[in-house]
Amino acid sequence: MDVDENRFEGMLAGKTVILTVTASISLYRMPDLVRDLRREGARVVVGMSKEASSMISPTIFQWASENSVVTAVGGNIEHISLFIGHARDTALLICPASHNTVGKIANGISDDVPSLFFSFAIGNGNPVCVCPAMHEGMMVNPINHRNLQALEDAGVRIVPPRISEEKAKISENDLIIDHVCRLFHGNTLQGKSVLIIGGRGEEMIDPVRAVSNLGSGFTMSWFAVNAFRLGAASIVMIGNTEYRIPEYAEYIQAVKMEEFEAEVDSILSRRKFDVVINCASLSDFIVKEKSGSKMPGDRSATVTLIPREKLLDRIRKKHSGKLVAFKLDDGISPDQAYKKVGSSKPDLVVYNGISHGSGPFGTVSNHYIVIRPNGHEDLGILSKPQMTQRVLSLLYSESTEVP
């Protein structure tokens, strides 16, 4: 199976997802979700209600999952045998979950494959995720609200639907996979608040021209995704990105250097964060004499650049928690790389060389070294999704390979 390393990171490797589907027009999307779960590394087994199997052939799910499909519980007592054993490595995902199914599982009714699977999994300690899909009026009615609240109180993760065309539609595959990953890996950053600063910074020369770089915001986007997957309670993004801005993150746009400085100063004055990550590609300079009007394009011009205060140093003045910095350079040792940003006393410095991989910006893999004050660890060549997950996982680990 082809896997896009810039969209998938293998976070579900070694995990099993039991996907149970119920009767909904959203069924047409489920074979694609099965394939995406597998691309993320999961083994997928599909169970279907009788009504669902009348709407779409089980053969399609067998093809997508490469596993037998459960359409009725028989002598193999599939509602038990699929879940028993390593409970924390096997999750139940009910998607789409109809109004009828939500009502049944919330009230202890077990009369079909999805509800039988739920009745055992929730008692066996398996993580459970439910994706409601129904008409908007059914979604907002107080009885459905009560049922969803009862499920949440029992430890079930509810993936919020998208309200569109008077319907509560299941979320996109990427968001569903984020929630499934959080089921398995959410203890790493549980309860933590994370601020991520990313994208490119522009230092204006005149009202229409700027000194900038090729930063795309791809790394910031994936730090937000993996912070959620690892359990962060709140996520704020400051900067700009050409890529996904997750629904669960607060996004504050900044492009000009003055905007970065103002937004970072403002939020750190108002809020405390456990972790601040600065992966932005920012200007090291201030244009000494900015032009108030557009500079003529038919004559030579001289622009004088002077060093500016590092944003990392501004952050450290207001932030006492964990700090992650990035250093893009080439031909220097890890010790030298740390010294270049050491005045801000970062807990981790992620160092990648300009000549490694296919380049430092955009959707590429690179060779990364993570540096602490007392040592460093060579992560080797990783995709940015893999790198961001690894860096976040290392934040609360004190280990380094090389002292």
Cβ contacts of 89 within 8 Å, gap of 6 or more: 14, 15, 16, 184
Q: Which of 197, 222, 231 is nearest to 388 (CA)?
A: 222
The predicted pLDDT at position 215 comes to 83
**Percent of the residues in the chain that have a pLDDT greater than 90, as a whole number:** 68
Q: pLDDT category, 289, cuts 50, 70, 90?
A: confident
- For the chain, domains (ranges, CATH) are 16-185 (3.40.50.1950), 193-394 (3.40.50.10300)
pLDDT in tens, 211-261: 788 788 999 999 999 999 999 999 999 999 999 999 999 999 999 999 999
Please compute the mean of the pLDDT values over residues 289-318 and round it to a whole number.
Answer: 86
Record the tokens describing residue 135, joined without a space.
């008409």
51 vs 136, more confident: 51
pLDDT in tens, 173-198: 999 999 999 999 999 999 999 999 99
The predicted pLDDT at position 341 comes to 85
> Is residue 44 a contact partner of residue 17, using CB atoms and an 8 Å limit?
yes
Q: Which of 330, 334, 343, 317 is nearest to 372 (CA)?
A: 334
Sign (positive or negative) of CA dihedral 30, 34, 36, 40: positive
The predicted pLDDT at position 11 comes to 97
The predicted pLDDT at position 275 comes to 98
1-25: burial string, b at 16+ Cβ within 10 Å, e else:
eeeeebbbbbbbeebbbbbbbbbbe
pLDDT in tens, 341-386: 878 999 999 998 765 445 566 667 888 999 998 889 999 999 999 9
pLDDT in tens, 26-43: 899 999 999 999 999 999
The predicted pLDDT at position 45 comes to 98
The predicted pLDDT at position 273 comes to 98
Q: What is the pTM of this model?
A: 0.93
